[in-house]
Amino acid sequence: MPIRPVPLALLAAVGLAGTTVLLTLPRGEAASAAALPPPPAEVVRPAGQQTAVLAGGCFWGMEGVFEHVRGVVSVTSGYAGGTRGSANYGSVSSETTGHAEAVRIVYDPAKVSYGQLLQIFFAAAHDPTQVDGQYPDRGPSYRSAIFPQNDAQRQLAAAYIAQLGKAHAFPKPIATKIETGTFFPAEAYHQDFMRRNPNNGYIQRWDKPRLARFKAAFPQLYVG
């Protein structure tokens, strides 16, 4: 994964259930302080373990954030948006497969809601205003996307994106797309990469700040 300098940005206030904290957002040269509203309430919270699939740049950092969320059972790095035959790192890196690097999150909805996962996704796990890339990584495989696993998730994701846009929560338009596609796990060496390689240069520069933003913004949802 290439490393290029990306300007760091200012501060944004992120709210959860009435709580506001400050965190550093990457990029956004003209960023202004804005409160990120919580998502719409789920009409019916499902019972039993559920699955969410989200794409927000390098899956190392996305996995590293969501595995620290209270109520998350497991996080798997992988690919979504293309075919099974092209779901491998070499092919996806060619930017010709339609895949995005993504994570599959298995969670307990009694402890964390899908809406809360989306709020973490937009507020701390990545920059949803970057188009076809994330931080130093450029190309559609690093795009911001949500892959709903059912109609309820799709409706909630669409409503939240519209809500954030109407509230002008970000200084630039939200680039996140709602897509369809099967999730395919990535190679074994990508799994738990951040936990197994805490001193890796890429992890130190780009992914640990994601985790720090999440911990600062959502202390009630963070688990060590």
A 10 A CB-CB count for 40 gives 14
Please tell me the pTM assigned to this model.
Answer: 0.85
Distance (Å, whole) CA 224 – CA 222: 7
- Judge whether 209 counts as a catalytic residue: no
Tell me how far CA of residue 97 lies from CA of 8, 44, 83, 115, 132, in angstroms.
30, 36, 8, 29, 14
Residue 19 confidence (pLDDT) above 80: no
Domains present along the chain, CATH in parentheses: 48-213 (3.30.1060.10)
**What's the confidence (pLDDT) of residue 72?**
98
Give the pLDDT confidence of 172-192 residue by residue, as tens digits.
999 999 999 999 999 999 999
> Given 16, 36, 58, 72, which residue is catalytic?
58
What torsion, rounded to 10 degrees, do the Cα atoms 61, 106, 119, 125 define? 0
Q: Which DSSP symbol is given to 36? A: B
Do residues 85 and 102 make contact, with C-beta atoms less than 8 angstroms apart?
no
Position 148 scores a pLDDT of 98
Answer whether residue 35 shows pLDDT above 70: no
